[in-house]
A and B are shown apart, each in its own frame.
Chain A
Amino acid sequence: MSNPLADMDKPTVIFCIGTNMTEAHPVAATRLKKAIANGAKLIVADPRRIGLADISDLYLPIRVGSDAALLLGMAHVIQREGLVNDVFMADRTTEGETFLEHVKQFTPEWAEGITGVPAADIEQAALWYAQAERGAIYYTLGITEHICGVDNVQSLCNLALMTGNIGREGTGINPMRGQNNIQGAGDMGALPNNYPGFQPVTDPKNQEKFEKAWGIKVDLEKGITKVTALDSCGDAIRAMIIDGENTVVTDPNRDHCEKALKSLDLLVVIDIFLTDTAKMADVVFPAAAWGEVDGTQTNTERRVQRLRKAIDPPGEAKPDWQILQMLAQRMGFQGFEHESAKDIFNEVCSLSPTYYGLDWDRIEHGEYQWPVPEKNHPGTPRLHEDGFINGRGIFKLINYRDPAEVIDDDYPVWLTTGRRLQAYHTRTQTGRSAGIDYLLPEEVLEVHPDDAAKWGLVDGEWAELASRRGKVEIKVRTTNRSPKGTVFASFSFADVPINALTGSGYDPVTQTAELKVCAVRVKPCKKGVL
């Protein structure tokens, strides 16, 4: 997030797109509800009539995968109506003139044709956001899990840059990170292109720094992403070590993923449960869980906080870092002589410019948000206040692209996937916590009542859902939350492996899977037919 969570009750106009915040980030949503109670206007763009839509002032029911068209249409209106923040554009951005020329072709009527949202509503959304004293954008995987995820994010940046809704209290571009420490994992350099602290691996200065720090020869080339690695399993990739990820259930195209892991010479998994992925491993190491280890975790607003041990791990389970250290020592690797999480964190701080001013003792109370470039630095709750890191904000010329897979006669229904409030990912944790089943006992396919009638489906009975990649059986629930022609399910339940169906395409830059769109067909079935 460019802005802190504490800013969330301060915008005058809130634009939520591709975020089901009341279910996926409920505590953040409570802050937005306060902004609304204070008089802020809420614009929600989402294919499904989610909880946020119920409390919105303007709901834009976009067709799945049409976000970029909506955002281009909004940019067009802002340009056309002369609502561009000229001062901000002149002082802080570049390529603006080309961009303003580029968006002239994308009328709201054009956007209506793609998104299905009335042009008048697109105009209204653009006017509110552009005229806001403080306009803030919030998004989640509904923006990024598309073949055009990068385009979508850059389209949001364009809107913020042309209106100056960035670098101030109650504004910003705010992605809500989904996992407790997914921000931290990136910060730590668990990425093929960056060392810790987002230092590019291809920069000779960084290469020299890490060769010196670790006393080794580093690779001069970027690595490959996990998606590419899975595609190369059994071929170029022969061994994989996976920590705390249930890859075969969370990743798209389960069949492809299982075949990939099976073709390895060696699969090592570190986890707290024998997940479907761990079951495929040659070696499984038992990890200590949350509540059983000391450590640090970085949240969606870049706040670095301490995790503390309350009880001992069961049996012989050990902290992940200790397992990796023991394995490194067996391999004869140097530099793995840490005695504690504190040791490791302090090593991170010494090497990462974003954490450089921090140390284990300094984050005792969790008051710092990175970057903290030097000791005694107060941290940076709000990014881009005095300028952009790279100098100027660059407008990108985006064009709309169709999803990798669009509906046709064979697969005439859109499927979109997402989260539910009471389940977390593949339920390895929430599914093993007492009482959660009372609230969410099973997965259901959410279908509009009119569609259900047309397709012969009955609420509470079963349907077969098929894509070009697989089939699942799933119980039907009729609901007006689903638009006509689009069905929804989560991937949380092992007995409804919805990711057997997904995986139609990937963003060419990030290789993020288009989990939010695939084409399916739906028909009634008796349970147990598959």
Chain B
Amino acid sequence: MIMTAAEAQTHCMTLDGVEVQFVEGETIYDVARRYHKDIPTLCYDERLEPFGGCRMCVVQVEGMRSPVASCTMPAAPDMVVQTQTHEIDSHRKTLLELLISENREVDVDPLRGYASQELATLVDAYDARTGRFEGGQSGATRDDDDNPFILRDYDLCISCYRCVRVCAEHEGDYAISIMNRGFATQITTEFNGLLKDSSCTFCGQCVQTCPTGALGDKKAMRHTDTPGEIEKTRTICPYCGVGCAVDLMTKGETIVGLQPAMDGPANEGALCVKGQFAYDFIQHPDRLKAPMVRGDDGELHETDWDTALDRAADGLKRVLEQHGRHSVYGVASGRAPCEAAYSMQKFIRAGFGTNYIDNCSRA
């Protein structure tokens, strides 16, 4: 069976001068996070296996000559670790200076994705906008990919491989891969083609984990210039029965995008193409905005609530009088909230005194 924390062995180590406990299997980074140490990362996504690629999370371990990546180094008994020293800070700042020296831009709109602000935030925190380095530029943007969902702005890529790993480890789709090595590294798909010709399902997970905005949510980005602050409302996806938690993003009364809830109990940050990208139907011009009743001409016409309610109530009363209570039938929705279904069955049961009620689960 799966080992529980209670069954795992507990040991001690020293973290920034304080003795702390850890359980076997934890990395230095895991332990440090539990003790609220502010260790920066770029290639880290807690849903994925540690990667140790960006080297931002390095710490000083007594007895080791060079700083080590805390996300991949297992904590060991009696280890003595410093998470923040002048040398470590300077190492992190230099890394950031190097990274941004080859990116077209650092400050991207937060609508690009859930993690899109990570690089810019660290650059500010480490005061790394020094312009100390300049030169080559790695990663080539794929302007030719005309898909409506995923921007592939690889000019901003820092080769952290989070997109590749989330696609493989979290989604199990293996649609994204890596071409070339070193400075020439390029994120790509099979045969270097378009996403739609790959095994990509457009779930958007690569977009949401990208820490620089190199992968962007094209649908949300249409609202970059829409005025207003982005507000997030935690709700649940309206499609299948899995019940993925999402944050619906609005500016004023406009839906501008949607991001997965990383702590959603059913989805743990995952979404599919419908949940991620098919949210804007609610602001489609086809929405019904007023009640409608069928006129003498046989057509439906918009009207006010009073007229429509009277028409429905009068019709129901007439049927009830002429044909009895077992002549009225209610169908509740499997798409609307529980309160709608409860109200429908109560309307039929408490109103007409029958059990002539069903929902749409039989077809």
Interface residue range, chain B = 35 or more
CB distance from B10 to the nearest CB of A (A): 24
CB distance from A187 to the nearest CB of B (A): 7
Within 8 A of B (CB), among A269-328: 270-274, 278-279, 281-287, 289-293, 295-301, 303-312, 314-317, 319-321, 324-328
B237–A180 CB distance below 8 A: yes
Any chain B CB within 8 A of the CB of A11? Answer: no
Chain A residues with a Cβ closer than 8 Å to the other chain, count: 149
CB distance from A332 to the nearest CB of B (A): 9
CB distance from A352 to the nearest CB of B (A): 9
B245–A366 CB distance below 8 A: yes
A327–B347 CB distance below 8 A: yes
Select the residue from A188, A236, A245, A436 with max chain B CB neighbours within 10 A.
A188
B273–A180 CB distance below 8 A: no
Q: In whole angstroms, what is the CA distance A429 to B287 when docked?
A: 10
The answer, among B172, B241, B319, B334, for a CB contact under 8 Å with A30, is: B172
Within 8 A of B (CB), among A343-394: 344-345, 347-348, 365-367
- The stretch of A21-29, A92-100, A408-416, A476-484 in contact with B is A21-29
Residues of A within 8 A of B363 (CB): 226-227, 250-252, 512-513, 515
A315–B290 CB distance below 8 A: yes
Residues of B within 8 A of A241 (CB): 312, 316, 328-331, 344, 347
Within 8 A of A (CB), among B17-49: none
Residue interface bits A211-225, CB-to-B below 8 A is 1, else 0: 000101111011111
A316–B345 CB distance below 8 A: no
The answer, among B2, B277, B282, for a CB contact under 8 Å with A169, is: B2
- The stretch of A157-165, A189-197, A446-454 in contact with B is A189-197
A434–B219 CB distance below 8 A: yes
B316–A300 CB distance below 8 A: no
A181–B1 CB distance below 8 A: no
Closest to B311 in A: A283
- The stretch of A70-78, A104-112, A117-125, A171-179 in contact with B is A171-179
B333–A299 CB distance below 8 A: no
Residue interface bits A490-530, CB-to-B below 8 A is 1, else 0: 00000000000000000000111101000000000000000
Q: In whole angstroms, what is the CA distance A28 to B361 when docked?
A: 20
Any chain A CB within 8 A of the CB of B279? Answer: yes
Q: In whole angstroms, what is the CA distance A299 to B265 when docked?
A: 11
Any chain B CB within 8 A of the CB of A48? Answer: no
The answer, among B281, B323, B355, for a CB contact under 8 Å with A432, is: B281
Closest to A28 in B: B242
Residues of B within 8 A of A424 (CB): 239-240, 274, 278
Residues of B within 8 A of A44 (CB): none
Residues of A within 8 A of B242 (CB): 5, 25, 27-28, 176, 299-300
A297–B253 CB distance below 8 A: no
Q: Is the interface of B mostly helix, strand, loop or mixed?
A: mixed
Known: A272-B282, A430-B281. A181 touches B338 (CB 8 A): yes
- The stretch of A56-64, A79-87, A333-341, A465-473 in contact with B is A333-341
Closest to B323 in A: A238
Any chain A CB within 8 A of the CB of B91? Answer: no
Closest to B288 in A: A286
Residues of A within 8 A of B106 (CB): none
Q: In whole angstroms, what is the CA distance A311 to B344 when docked?
A: 24
A216–B359 CB distance below 8 A: no
Within 8 A of A (CB), among B183-204: 196, 201-203
Any chain B CB within 8 A of the CB of A182? Answer: yes
B327–A422 CB distance below 8 A: no
Any chain A CB within 8 A of the CB of B356? Answer: yes
Any chain A CB within 8 A of the CB of B120? Answer: no
Residues of B within 8 A of A317 (CB): 287-289
Any chain B CB within 8 A of the CB of A3? Answer: no
Q: In whole angstroms, what is the CA distance A357 to B147 when docked?
A: 47
Closest to A341 in B: B339
Any chain B CB within 8 A of the CB of A101? Answer: no
Residues of A within 8 A of B308 (CB): 283-285
A239–B239 CB distance below 8 A: no
B353–A217 CB distance below 8 A: yes
A226–B266 CB distance below 8 A: no
Closest to A334 in B: B350
Q: In whole angstroms, what is the CA distance A316 to B363 when docked?
A: 31
A214–B346 CB distance below 8 A: yes
B338–A331 CB distance below 8 A: no
A429–B203 CB distance below 8 A: no
A287–B290 CB distance below 8 A: no
Any chain A CB within 8 A of the CB of B335? Answer: yes
Closest to A145 in B: B363
A315–B289 CB distance below 8 A: yes
B356–A223 CB distance below 8 A: yes
B148–A309 CB distance below 8 A: no
Known: A310-B235, A429-B278. A176 touches B338 (CB 8 A): no
CB distance from A195 to the nearest CB of B (A): 8
A185–B236 CB distance below 8 A: no
The answer, among A219, A291, A324, for a CB contact under 8 Å with B354, is: A219
Closest to B170 in A: A30
Residues of B within 8 A of A515 (CB): 363
Residues of A within 8 A of B149 (CB): 435
Any chain B CB within 8 A of the CB of A132? Answer: no
B286–A273 CB distance below 8 A: yes
Residues of B within 8 A of A226 (CB): 329, 331, 358-360, 362-363
Residue interface bits B268-298, CB-to-A below 8 A is 1, else 0: 0011111101111111101111111110000
The answer, among B292, B343, B362, for a CB contact under 8 Å with A320, is: B343
Any chain A CB within 8 A of the CB of B79? Answer: no
Residues of B within 8 A of A325 (CB): 343
Within 8 A of B (CB), among A236-284: 236-245, 247, 250-252, 265-266, 268, 270-274, 278-279, 281-284
Residues of A within 8 A of B346 (CB): 214, 328, 335-336
Known: A310-B248, A327-B312. A192 touches B356 (CB 8 A): yes
Known: A188-B338, A324-B344. A290 touches B361 (CB 8 A): no
CB distance from A253 to the nearest CB of B (A): 10
Any chain A CB within 8 A of the CB of B182? Answer: no
The answer, among B169, B219, B273, B312, for a CB contact under 8 Å with A283, is: B312
A297–B356 CB distance below 8 A: no
Closest to A1 in B: B241
B355–A244 CB distance below 8 A: no
Within 8 A of A (CB), among B251-275: 253-255, 264-267, 270-275
Residue interface bits B294-311, CB-to-A below 8 A is 1, else 0: 100000100001001111
The answer, among B277, B326, B344, B355, for a CB contact under 8 Å with A435, is: B277
A185–B172 CB distance below 8 A: no
CB distance from B8 to the nearest CB of A (A): 18
B274–A182 CB distance below 8 A: no
Known: A179-B360, A284-B291. A433 touches B241 (CB 8 A): no
Any chain B CB within 8 A of the CB of A34? Answer: yes
Any chain A CB within 8 A of the CB of B180? Answer: no
CB distance from B207 to the nearest CB of A (A): 13
Residues of A within 8 A of B284 (CB): 273, 432-433
A182–B339 CB distance below 8 A: no
Select the residue from B147, B235, B274 with max chain A CB neighbours within 10 A.
B235
Any chain B CB within 8 A of the CB of A183? Answer: yes
Q: In whole angstroms, what is the CA distance A290 to B346 when docked?
A: 22
Known: A180-B334, A244-B340, A433-B278. A216 touches B350 (CB 8 A): yes
**Apart from A225-B358, A247-B360: 20 A-B pairs, beta carbons within 8 A:** A177-B240, A181-B333, A182-B334, A189-B342, A195-B349, A210-B349, A219-B353, A219-B354, A225-B362, A239-B329, A266-B315, A286-B288, A297-B243, A306-B234, A307-B236, A315-B287, A321-B340, A330-B310, A433-B278, A515-B363
Closest 5 CB pairs of A and B: A315-B289, A299-B243, A295-B337, A33-B172, A244-B333
- Ordered by A's residue number, 5 sampled pairs between the chains whose C-beta atoms are within 8 Å are A25-B240, A236-B323, A316-B291, A348-B339, A367-B265
